[in-house]
Amino acid sequence: MSSIAELEKKIKILESELERERSKNERGRQKIAHMSSEVVDTNPYSRLMALKRMGIVDNYERIRDFAVAVVGVGGVGSVAAEMLTRCGIGKLLLFDYDKVELANMNRLFYQPHQAGLSKVEAAERTLKEINPDVEFEIYNYNITTVDNFQHFMDRISKGGLKECTPVDLVLSCVDNFEARMAINTACNELGQKWIESGVSENAVSGHIQFIIPGETSCFACAPPLVVATHTDEKTLKREGVCAASLPTTMAIVAGFLVQNTLKYLLHFGNVAYYLGYNALEDFFPTMVMKPNPQCDDNYCRQQQAEFQKREAAKPKQVVEERKEEAVTHDDNDWGIELVSETTEEESRLAEGDTPHLTEGVKFAYTKPVQSAQNDSGVTVEKTDQSLEELMQQMKGL
Amino acid sequence: MVDEATKRTLAEITLLKTKASPRDGELWVQRLKEEYQSLIKYVQNNKASDNDWFRLESNKEGTRWFGKCWYIHELLKYEFDVEFDIPVTYPTTAPEIALPELDGKTAKMYRGGKICMTDHFKPLWARNVPKFGIAHAMALGLGPWLAVEIPDLIEKGIINYKEKAAEK
């Protein structure tokens, strides 16, 4: 049993600890109405506004007019969100259905005491403390399910800085094909520009890809691109694990992603369309990919038609300028050619039409040309049974 | 890319025709009927060849599936709950099959107990859109996963035989 004196002592200690914690929060800064260029220690934006004086960015304050959606706030997304927060972005919309786990601690941003919290909630708390000027919307759900997808589309198309305007850019920081495809579907339907990002499961390569529906290749136009790291997939040791990750590769990809975002939003430098990162060889392939006229996604094909119309309506001068931007053949500098063991016709049927890629980038897999004849299996026959009857039959088995 | 055993498994499962996702209204109902036809045939074949290993059913909309799968190891039957959602991008992307009760028990899983498919599965699926359906995902995704993981988990003592499962 503790004596009253001991308990009182304990209360004193706890009170002082509480006081310290409280003062920590109070020390956080207040909102700032206008971004100032004044170079003083107390101005959180002084080094960013200096970009203007240096002639890099014309009008840095515009950063506050933009809303960016970050889908997936894991190893890449959380760091990207922090970068944008520190840059003073106007609004962030965060989507993720995951919780913070101790297994995440090899990556940046989250801290052990946040384990168990939803990632979006933990992220919002930290980010608001770093920069209270940023507006947040957070959604703790899986975007690929039917129930959530429509809401996700609504927030992309109406969650801009002014309600009912679209967000300015969507950043895909998810870790799986299904979620990327869902973002692709949404963005093709909405004509929303987005940047896809990814880190390989062996943690030694990554990429970003800027997707403008109709103008550049969408995520469904071709099989996913991978940066060739010359590690043999067959010898890759997968014993007992699904994925490895490194804080370095993830932070580098997050850096590429946000750099590209800033360049696009604030109009400086050249915006990258595809930028790969091969960590083993320090190689950074870049390229531009045109959309596939036979893309599986109807909305992608619609966007392509609309883009063609817009292009045709533009004065000629502009068209020529664009052509200059779209350099696709820097690969010939290296004298690299695709050499095949099978005939061109054979490989075309087996692998489909694959566009030429820059050196160091390949498709994750190939898809055969769609044809009805090569189906070896039996296809389902027409049935007179109703769905309910089929469901009952299945249950009765 | 496809080995002989996989080819044989595949040949037994009827292919689907309609490319439709749960957002496609009537077309989805058509796809759902095909899914059920293909699944019923597959289960019937499994039963006939004494290799019955799962049951599935869905909600009315066919967007959420649940059921049981089992694996026989040294004459004992180990049974697990199976569940998955049909994503809005289906059938372009395969369903992510989950065994929630094994979540955290093996590294060959993603959060929520979603099984880690082999490197071959996704390319194979992508090459066969929209012909592959849920029955294919079970046969080529969950089947091989159980065959590799369950004996290993039993050996390590992570999962134990339950009397109840045997009575069924």
CB–CB contact B15 A378 (8 Å): yes
Q: How confident is the model at residue B166 (pLDDT cuts 50, 70, 90)?
A: very low
For residue B80, which phi and psi values (nearest 5 degrees)?
-135, 150
Predicted local confidence at residue B138, as pLDDT:
95
Q: Which whole number is the average pLDDT over A270-280?
A: 95
Residues of B in contact with A364 (CB under 8 A): 123
Q: Is the pLDDT of residue B149 over 50?
A: yes
CB–CB contact A394 B17 (8 Å): no
Q: How confident is the model at residue A292 (pLDDT cuts 50, 70, 90)?
A: very high
User: Hey, is the C-beta of A185 within 8 angstroms of any chain B C-beta?
Assistant: yes
Q: Is the pLDDT of residue B52 over 90?
A: yes
In chain B, whose CA is at the least distance from the CA of A220? B92
Q: How confident is the model at residue A220 (pLDDT cuts 50, 70, 90)?
A: very high
Predicted local confidence at residue B167, as pLDDT:
46
Q: How confident is the model at residue B137 (pLDDT cuts 50, 70, 90)?
A: very high
Chain position carrying tokens 């699926």 = B125
Predicted local confidence at residue A326, as pLDDT:
53
CB–CB contact A391 B36 (8 Å): yes
Q: Is the pLDDT of residue A374 over 80?
A: no
Q: Which whole number is the average pLDDT over A195-200?
A: 96
Q: Rounded distance, CA B90 to CA B79, Å? A: 27
Tell which of A102, A145, A146 to mutate to test the B interface (max B CBs under 10 Å): A146
Report all structural domains of chain A as residue ranges with CATH numbers, in order of start. Answer: 66-313 (3.40.50.720)
| A7 against B163, higher pLDDT | A7
Q: How confident is the model at residue A60 (pLDDT cuts 50, 70, 90)?
A: very high
User: Hey, is the C-beta of A242 within 8 angstroms of any chain B C-beta?
Assistant: yes
Winning range, highest mean pLDDT, from A189-203, A335-349, B114-128: A189-203
Distance to chain B for A268, nearest Cα, Å: 35
CB–CB contact B63 A379 (8 Å): no
Note the ipTM here: 0.84
Strands B54-58 vs B64-73: parallel, antiparallel or unpaired = antiparallel
In chain A, whose CA is at the least distance from the CA of B29? A387
CB–CB contact A390 B129 (8 Å): no
Distance to chain A for B74, nearest Cα, Å: 23
Q: Is the pLDDT of residue A373 over 70?
A: no
State the average pLDDT for chain B: 90
Predicted local confidence at residue B12, as pLDDT:
84
Q: Which whole number is the average pLDDT over A284-313?
A: 94
CB–CB contact A377 B107 (8 Å): no
Residues of A in contact with B15 (CB under 8 A): 375, 377-380
User: Hey, is the C-beta of A378 within 8 angstroms of any chain B C-beta?
Assistant: yes
DSSP 8-state symbol, B97: -
Predicted local confidence at residue A268, as pLDDT:
96
Strands A135-139 vs A91-95: parallel, antiparallel or unpaired = parallel
CB–CB contact B87 A395 (8 Å): no
pLDDT digits (tens, 9 = 90+) for A124-158: 999 999 999 999 999 999 999 999 999 999 999 99
Q: Which whole number is the average pLDDT over B156-168?
A: 71
**Beta partners for residue A363, in sequence order:** A225
Percent residues over pLDDT 90 in chain A: 65
CB–CB contact B39 A394 (8 Å): yes
Predicted local confidence at residue A391, as pLDDT:
93
Is A111:A67 a contact under the CB 8 Å cutoff? no
CB–CB contact A375 B131 (8 Å): yes
Q: How confident is the model at residue B56 (pLDDT cuts 50, 70, 90)?
A: very high
Predicted local confidence at residue A38, as pLDDT:
86
Helix axes A119-130, A77-87, angle to 10 degrees: 20
Query: Hey, is B68 helix, strand or coil?
Result: strand
Residues of A in contact with B17 (CB under 8 A): 379-380
| A222 against A351, higher pLDDT | A222
Residues of B in contact with A393 (CB under 8 A): 36, 40
Q: Which whole number is the average pLDDT over B26-49?
A: 95
Q: Which two tokens stand for residue A272?
A: 């990258």
Predicted local confidence at residue A241, as pLDDT:
63
Residues of A in contact with B88 (CB under 8 A): 144-146, 149, 182, 185
CB pairs under 8 A, 24+ apart, for B53-58?
A: B53/B143, B53/B146, B54/B82, B54/B138, B54/B142, B55/A397, B56/A394, B56/B82, B56/B134, B56/B138, B57/A391, B57/A394, B57/A395, B58/A391, B58/B32
As annotated, the active-site residues of A are 242
Residues of B in contact with A375 (CB under 8 A): 15, 131
> Whose CA is closest to B135, among B48, B22, B35?
B35
Q: Is the pLDDT of residue B83 over 80?
A: yes
C-alpha dihedral, A167 to A172 to A176 to A180, nearest 10°: 50
In chain B, whose CA is at the least distance from the CA of A181? B89
Predicted local confidence at residue A375, as pLDDT:
56
DSSP 8-state symbol, B130: T
Distance to chain A for B112, nearest Cα, Å: 9
| B2 against B54, higher pLDDT | B54
Predicted local confidence at residue A304, as pLDDT:
97
Residues of A in contact with B94 (CB under 8 A): 178
CB–CB contact A390 B36 (8 Å): yes
State the average pLDDT for chain A: 88
As annotated, the active-site residues of B are 116
CB–CB contact A181 B109 (8 Å): no
Tell which of B3, B27, B33 to mutate to test the A interface (max A CBs under 10 Å): B33
In chain B, whose CA is at the least distance from the CA of A149? B88
